[in-house]
Chain A
Amino acid sequence: MKLYCLSGHPTLPCNVLKFKSTTIMLDCGLDMTSTLNFLPLPLVQSPRLSNLPGWSLKDGNAFLDKTELIDLSTVDVILISNYHCMMALPYITEHTGFTGTVYATEPTVQIGRLLMEELVNFIERVPKAQSASLWKNKDIQRLLPSPLKDAVEVSTWRRCYTMQEVNSALSKIQLVGYSQKIELFGAVQVTPLSSGYALGSSNWIIQSHYEKVSYVSGSSLLTTHPQPMDQASLKNSDVLVLTGLTQIPTANPDGMVGEFCSNLALTVRNGGNVLVPCYPSGVIYDLLECLYQYIDSAGLSNIPFYFISPVANSSLEFSQIFAEWLCHNKQTKVYLPEPPFPHAELIQTNKLKHYPSLHGDFSSDFRQPCVVFTGHPSLRFGDVVHFMELWGKSSLNTVIFTEPDFSYLEALAPYQPLAMKCIYCPIDTRLNFIQVSKLLKEVQPLHVVCPEQYTQPPPAQSHRMDLMIDCQPPAMSYRRAEVLALPFKRRYEKIEIMPELADSLVPMEIKPGISLATVSAVLHTKDNKHVLQPPPRPTQPTGGKKRKRASDDIPDCKVLKPLLSGSIPVEQFVQALEKHGFSDVKVEDTAKGHIVLLQEAETLIQIEEDSTHIICDNDEMLRVRLRDLVLKFLQKF
């Protein structure tokens, strides 16, 4: 059993598990931090941006490709744990010769589609006249200014995929539900479990009859909108692959939401605008819910909230129809019937308005001071670029970073000097280390495998021993482009016995509770399932040809020696020997058993725990006599 690690990003994992003749890809996250090396893509040509020194304004999106560790066309299935971890799917399904199936829950697919659609839309609406790629040549890259010249593996950066590729990739997905058991070639069974992090987010169990591997990726124990995490089903795992923990272990989400609300209120009260760069789904639902409760108390009822994204409408509406994937509280609302999320009411009362883009209705409705939620959190493309340019010059305005995926300082770099206030309150509801250690205590896996980042404190806080995984035995760590041999051997395989064959067995109890029977059968293996079938009866000799063919097929099972069991009591054995006329019997004790010496016959009988040897020279008659004597003491079956 091997694990191929294709991503070095712990929250955007991509691993391939080889388990019992199947090749399973676990997630395919897209690390977009390389976009920070590019200039923002403004909706309108910005002279300021294009004149910035030392910044490249050429390429589109970027993608960190997998290494040549494994031939991706051999991957049988891809298991997706949440919508953030499927963003690289088109690159794999469309360009690698992949012919397998992708499994994901319905909300994951629908919201994943929205995220991809938004990404493609953001990139495609500002087409580039030309695209440069020669700079990726290592010799030229060396000459580029920092940090570009220090970027690793730029040759693997890719252009953003197209909508066509997205559609084709998504068509290969098969929808699954929580706790649904999916057979893969009869060899293993995979099951998605609720992970509590996002709508439809799942952990996966990959198990055979005797082995169980759990894949935990992006889970949360906090009470937010999704169904709570299913921990019980993770118990008794041989290996638990643990990825997708919180990226900001020192920030408590509750505290950060408080910080978010207070800063928002302070800015708006002073007549400033608030910009929240965010993804179109996920934490935004919780933020809107918090604000729903907060705006009245903070006297912000008259402040408009704008949500601008090509998929804003779909995102808000999708969230309301996935009732079965929501936490219990929200599910019960549906039966009242009420929309599970309060943002419906915000929209009804005109407090929250959503637009596909800046153009059109938005420009006529736009009223300040206001709060704008829009993408992309990297600040490199999407409508957020426009608002940064628009509001950046006034110190009354505030940009509040809530998504933890990008370094906010790097994201802000091309907008400097910036007068607007910047608040960093990353909200990451994924497991923190305290929760992980509780989870591991509860679930008790035999082995834990995790990215190497989790096995040591963060470099900036090397004294925080609490910010690492602490378990026994110590977790096995992996890094990008490593192949890990998982630390357990498969020892058993399940074989079924056909009922008629089982009927014919005659078990013999050799010890209380243990019975044995000899089986003669044909092992039939198909689709990784093994069945013992009764051997075909020796057919009656009807015709020469047929008989011959039959005998070809039947394995030779005629010469069956009985199996022996039991032990030889030495004293009784000696008495028996004496009864049979051997008079000069001597017994020597050895480390492993006994040696019985028949001096006259120059014969040795070596009795050990698991073997008995009769050593006599050229006297087959004697040997057979002795053998029969020995056999009298043993059970046969």
Chain B
Amino acid sequence: MDPECSQLLPALCSVLADPRQPVTDDTCLEKLLDWFKTITEAGSSLLLLQENPCLLGLLCHVLKPQDLSPRVLAFSLRLAGMLAAQEDCFQYLQQGELLPRLFGEAGPLGGAAWTAPSVRSGWIQGLRSLAHHPSALCFLADCGAVDTIFSLQGDSSLFVASAAGQLLVHVLGLSLQGPAEGHPGLQTGDWPVCAQKIVSHIEESLRSAATPQITQALNVLTTTFGHCHNPWTQVLWVRLSPLVARLLEKDPVPAAHSLVDLLLSVARSPVLSSSSCGLWETLAQTLSHLSPTQAGPLALGILKLQECPQALRAQAFAVLLQPLTCVLEATAQAPGLLDSWDGTGGASVTVDTLLASKAACVGLLCRTLAHLELLQPLPQRPSPWPQAPLLGATVTILRLCSGSATPTSDAGGHLCAFLVGCVRVQRAALDFLGMLSRGTGPRELVTQVFAVLLEYLTSPDSSPTVLKKAFQATLRWLQSSPETPGCSDLDPHAQLFLRELLPVLPKRLCSPCWEVRDSGLEFLTQMIGRWGGQAGFRRALLASEVPELTEQLLRDPESYVRASAVAAMGQLSSQGLRVTPASPEHPGGQQKSLLAELLHILSTDSEGFPRRAVMHVFTQWLRDGHADVAADTERFVARVLQVASQDLDWEVRAQGLELALVFLEQTLGRPSSHCPYAVTPPVAAPPGPLAQALRPLCRVQLFEFAFRALFDCDRPVAQKSCDLLLFLRAQTASYSGPQGSGSVPEVASVEAALQRWQAGDQGQPLGYLEPEVVVAVLRSMDLEGLRGALAESSDRVEKSPQSLLQDMLATVGALGEDEADCY
């Protein structure tokens, strides 16, 4: 600990110990604990205590009966635990009987402070830190802490209860660290007393009739098997698994969610899954006992396992597919391949669940679709994957939701009534439908997919979120549709769909709901990016009103829409799809160019999103050599950098640096004068190759922009600029130009200006810089040092422990002043 902190610590301890000076902000205490943690991890706790007796004083002080705040008490408990994690320090504290007084019956445990959840939580966390050595185990046994932990498992505060469970797991692991590791065959009867006590408690809880206790026991076991893969866990599982299996005999199965978690945790444990302790049988039994809603997560978990018997996988998949089978049957469609998976006869239970109530039906279907969506991309997904029936079921669900399906049975009628207009199911089904585009399907089913997507995109009743999902699914299906061999165009099928889709898009772009306009534009941008070069798509797009409408949306009142319109226009223009009708009102005069319009948005738009979007488009244009940019690249870059440097949004400035980098690469990549229109100003000295290469950069005032950004108040901008200048310096180093030829006074004046900038006075511009001056300045700057400084977080000063201590003391002082003010 540095001496400054050591000096401040006694004062802080006395503030903490003073009940009249309450600590209002407990994040300070958390930070303080973090700091102590780093100190104790790095060095000896004993030394820390000895050097700072005030800490011990604080710990002793909190034990006195007084009106101390629960926060400080909890802090002290945690601090004590942290210090006692080292055995020598533990012994030192034990000498003063401090630990039993803090954590034993005599401590806060029996007092009024115990009613505060933070104190109980502090007690648990203190013990959690403390329990790291065998002496700690004895201490726990002596002070009867384990019983208290048992009771805290049912605490009214969820945080305390959960921490208690975890502490129990930790203590169990610690007590078995020595003995059971040495002898893997050791039976539980030979385990240490502490471990036996915990195991008996778990057994007792599992036998209990009360669901909360069963849940606690299951959660402790789940954590144990999830974190610890020692051989003793196998002994534990062998002993407890009959009790777990007995839970399945109850109807309904108690604590089903926790049971599923436990079984999956056991199945994932390398120690347990490889052994033959009836795990797979238990899993199979559980699958068939749980209700369809509860069995879903278990089935998904089983299917995600790397190693698992085939029969169990088949059963799990059947459970997962059942709701969809029911949907297909209810609409009198042959479930097809789904049948072959369905061998458990649980279908009637599923039907009952589906038809019980709207909430149950919607919940089960959403969960099933989400599970299948998670499963679909996994390599271990079931094979053969029933792509066609799944497609059929999803399309049917979507049509039931829109009311366009005609159910033939009573069950179907009920399903229809539950699902019509249900946005949740629509979203889940569209997500899954999108995911299914990774596979193929029979032609007629794909036709149905496109039909249902079109129905959703057209329907006025589709909610904005559903519409967005429909757009995403459509894009994925279009992307997956095979391209016509030999011709880089969409297949006729998708083209047909596109022809129907494009008339829908204008209506969406005119929607009064901005979310719809926005997702319509996003969809359009992605479509153009993907198919902008294909003749069929270009024809269809140009024949529609879409390009014109998109341009109008550049003036939308909603900033998100303007941003999306900027991106879409950028794409349209890149692909040469922007319509520029020869306007009769301005004969000969061109329509306002898009470049000018985007520059206008960049310099005048009041919101950040459209301006960021413009910068992205410009960067892309520069990278792609867009015609409007290539016409006069230097002027373009100069203008954009000038506007971007004055922007208040740091992302715009950062994107400006990205654009500068692209320009830099293009310029230095081509040393000779690449721009035929650029007028080279006459220079006195014959320009060397380096000077020649740098001159365009100087002309667009790239350096002024980069230097300004270097001292930007937003760190990401400064970092980016630093990287750019370092790159530039590396580039110039390889040139063998006339180095150091820049006049000394000029370099000095630039350096002086930069120093003023760094000090915060950025008023004075640098003006035009000669390449030589730039190179000289670059070489003289400590860019590496600057980069190092920037890499540290900006609040490093504020985060220092010294500052923390000062802040805490100051807050208390300030509180006192406030009180004085009141009178």
Interface residue ranges, A against B (CB under 8 Å) = 250-252, 255-259, 261-263, 265-266, 269-270, 290, 293-294, 296-299, 425, 434, 461, 463-466
Confirm or deny: B122 has a beta carbon within 8 angstroms of a beta carbon on chain A. Answer: no
> What are 19 inter-chain pairs, A to B, with CB distance below 8 A?
A252-B460, A255-B459, A258-B511, A261-B511, A261-B512, A262-B510, A266-B506, A266-B507, A266-B545, A269-B552, A290-B512, A293-B512, A294-B512, A296-B557, A463-B412, A463-B416, A464-B416, A465-B416, A466-B417
CB-based A-B contact count at 8 angstroms: 75
Contact call A464/B511, Cβ cutoff below 8 A: no
Q: Kindly state the separation between the CA atoms of A299 and B558 in the bound complex, as whole angstroms.
A: 13
Contact between A262 and B555 (Cβ–Cβ < 8 Å)?
Answer: no
Using known A-B contacts A262-B512, A266-B507, A269-B549, determine if residue A464 contacts B461 with beta carbons closer than 8 Å: no
* Minimum C-beta distance from A433 to chain B (A): 9
Q: Is the CB of B512 within 8 A of A465?
A: no
Task: List residues of B (753-782) whose CB comes within 8 Å of A's CBs.
Answer: none
Assess whether A258 is in contact with B513, with CB atoms less than 8 Å apart: yes
Q: Are B510 and A265 touching (Cβ within 8 A)?
A: yes
11 more CB-based (< 8 A) A-B contacts, given A269-B548, A290-B512: A250-B403, A251-B461, A252-B461, A255-B460, A258-B511, A258-B516, A266-B545, A269-B549, A294-B512, A425-B460, A434-B421
Q: Is B373 an interface residue (CB 8 A)?
A: no
Say which residue of B406, B460, B552, B555 sits within 8 Å of A256 (CB atoms). B460
The reply on B413 being an interface residue by CB < 8 A is yes
User: What is the minimal beta-carbon distance from B329 to any residue of chain A, in angstroms?
Assistant: 16
How far apart are B523's CB and chain A's nearest CB, in angstroms?
16
Q: Does B699 contact A (CB under 8 A)?
A: no
Which residues of B552-567 are within 8 A (CB) of A?
552, 555-558
**How many angstroms from the CA of A257 to the CA of B516 in the assembled complex?**
14
**Cα–Cα, bound, A255→B512 (Å):** 10
Structural contact, A258 and B512, CB atoms closer than 8 A: yes
What separation, in Å, do the CA atoms of A564 and B136 have in the docked complex? 87
Q: Roughly how many angstroms separate A442 CA and B417 CA in the complex, as a whole number?
A: 20
Across-interface contacts of A252 in B (CB, < 8 A):
421, 460-461
- Residue of A at shortest CB range from B503? A266
Given contacts A461-B403, A466-B416, contact A266 B512 (CB under 8 A): no
Residue with the greatest number of chain A CB neighbours at <10 A, chosen from B406, B421, B459, B460: B460
User: Could you tell me the distance in whole angstroms from the C-beta of A49 to the nearest C-beta in chain B?
Assistant: 33
- CB pair B413–A465 under 8 Å, yes or no, is yes
Would you give the 0/1 interface string for B540-582, flagging 1 where the beta carbon is closer than 8 Å to chain A? Answer: 0000010011001001111000000000000000000000000
| B interface majority secondary structure | loop
Give the nearest-CB partner of B464 in chain A. A258
Cβ contact within 8 Å between A466 and B420: yes
In the assembly, what is the distance between CA of A297 and CA of B512, in Å? 8
- Is B407 an interface residue when CB atoms closer than 8 A count as contact? yes
| A258 to B517 alpha-carbon distance, docked (Å) | 11
Chain B's nearest CB lies how many Å from the CB of A216? 22
Q: 0/1 per residue, B502-538, Cβ < 8 Å to A?
A: 0000111011111010000000000000000000000
- Is there an interface contact between B545 and A270, defined as CB atoms closer than 8 Å? yes
Complex interface: chain A residues within 8 A of B557 (CB): 296-297
- Specify the main secondary structure of chain A where it touches its partner: helix
Given the interface pairs A262-B512, A297-B558, the reply to whether A464 lies near B506 with Cβ below 8 Å is no
Whether B414 pairs with A255 at a CB distance below 8 angstroms is no
Q: Identify which of B420, B461, B556 contacts A255 (C-beta below 8 A).
A: B461
A298 touching B460, Cβ below 8 Å: no
- Closest residue to B517 on the A side, CB-wise? A297
A257 and B459 contacting across the interface, CB-CB below 8 Å: no
| Pair A465/B511 contact, Cβ less than 8 Å | no
A contact residues around B406 at 8 Å (CB):
463
Produce 1/0 per residue, B454-465, CB < 8 A to A: 000001111000
- Complex Cα distance, B512 from A477, in Å, reads 40
Whether B460 lies near A258 (C-beta < 8 A) is yes
Q: Mark B654-685, 1 if CB is under 8 A from A, else 0.
A: 00000000000000000000000000000000
Residues of A within 8 Å of B460, CB to CB, are 251-252, 255-256, 258-259, 425
Shortest Cβ gap from A266 to chain B (Å):
6
**Chain A, residue nearest B462 (CB):** A255
Q: Within the complex, what minimum Cβ distance (angstroms) separates B711 from chain A? A: 40
Residue among B405, B413, B459, B511 making CB contact with A262, cutoff 8 Å: B511
Tell me the bound Cα distance from A252 to B462 in angstroms. 10
Contact of A465 among B414, B461, B462 (CB under 8 A): B414
Find chain A residues with CB under 8 A from B414 CB.
465
Contacts of B549 in A (CB 8 A): 269
Indicate which residue in B462, B508, B545 contacts A269 across the interface (CB closer than 8 Å): B545
Q: How far is the CA of A296 from the CA of B548 in the complex (A)?
A: 17
Interface residues of B in 398-418 (CB under 8 A from A): 403, 405-407, 412-414, 416-417
User: Whole-angstrom distance from the CB of B420 to the nearest CB of chain A?
Assistant: 5
Contact B403 A297 (CB under 8 A): no
Instruction: State in angstroms the CA–CA spacing of A266 and B417 once bound together.
Output: 35
CB-defined contacts of B413 to chain A, threshold 8 Å:
463, 465
Query: Taking A261-B511, A262-B511 as contacts, is the C-beta distance between A297 and B461 under 8 angstroms?
Result: no
Known A250-B403, A256-B460, A299-B552; contact A266-B510, beta-carbon cutoff 8 A? yes
Complex: A251 Cα to B403 Cα, angstroms: 11
**In the assembled complex, how far is the CB of residue B561 from the closest CB belonging to chain A, in whole angstroms?**
8
The CA of A257 and the CA of B407, in the complex, are separated in Å by: 30
With a CB–CB cut-off of 8 A, which chain A residues contact B421?
252, 434
Expressed in whole angstroms, the Cα–Cα distance for A463 and B330 within the complex equals 12
Do B545 and A463 touch across chains, with their CB atoms under 8 A apart?
no
Provide the bound-state CA to CA distance between A250 and B402, in Å: 10
- How near does chain A come to B708, taking the closest CB pair, in angstroms? 37
CB-CB nearest in chain A for B552: A299
- Bound-state CA distance A257–B459 (Å) is 13
Cα distance, A436 to B412, chains bound together (Å):
22
- Residues of B contacting A425 with CB < 8 Å? 460
* CB pair A463 B461 closer than 8 Å: no
Chain B residue at minimum C-beta to C-beta distance from A425: B460
Q: Which of A262, A265, A296, A434 has the most CB of B within 10 A?
A: A262
Residue pair B420, A298 in contact (C-beta under 8 Å):
no
A263 near B512: Cβ-Cβ < 8 Å: no
A421 CB to nearest chain B CB (Å): 12
Contact yes or no, B407 A463, CB < 8 A? yes
Query: Which B residues touch A293, using CB under 8 A?
Result: 512
- Leading 4 A-B pairs by shortest Cβ distance: A255-B460, A466-B417, A262-B510, A259-B460
Inter-chain CA distance A434–B556, complex, in Å, is 36
Contact between B403 and A262, CB atoms less than 8 A apart: no
Residue in B closest to A270 when the chains form the complex, CB atoms: B545
Q: Which residues from B are CB-within-8-Å of A250? A: 403, 461
Q: Which residues of A contact B552 (CB under 8 A)?
A: 269, 299
- List A contacts of B416 (CB < 8 A): 463-466
Interface residues of B in 335-364 (CB under 8 A from A): none
Bound complex: CA of A265 vs CA of B420, how far in Å? Answer: 30
Q: Which residues of A contact B556 (CB under 8 A)?
A: 297
Pair A257/B461 contact, Cβ less than 8 Å? no
What's the Cα separation between A265 and B512 when bound, in Å?
Answer: 10
* Contact partners of B555 in chain A: CB under 8 A: 299
CA distance A629 to B790 in the complex (A): 114
Contacts of A262 in B (CB 8 A): 506-508, 510-512
Minimum CB distance partner of A297 in chain B: B557
* Residue from B461, B512, B558 with most neighbouring chain A CB atoms (10 Å): B512
Q: Closest Cβ of chain A: how far from B502's Cβ, in Å?
A: 13
B403–A464 CB distance below 8 A: yes
Encoded as 1 (CB less than 8 Å from any A CB) or 0, chain B from 779 to 819 comes to 00000000000000000000000000000000000000000
Contact residues in B for A294 (Cβ distance below 8 Å):
512
Contacts of B511 in A (CB 8 A): 258, 261-262
A261 neighbours in B (Cβ, 8 Å): 510-512
**Distance of A549 Cα from B747 Cα, bound (Å):** 135
| Inter-chain contacts of A258 with B (CB < 8 A) | 460, 511-513, 516
User: Nearest-CB distance from A251 to chain B (Å)?
Assistant: 7
Distance from A400 Cβ to chain B, minimum over Cβ atoms (Å): 12
Residues of B within 8 A of A465 (CB): 413-414, 416-417
User: How near does chain A come to B119, taking the closest CB pair, in angstroms?
Assistant: 46
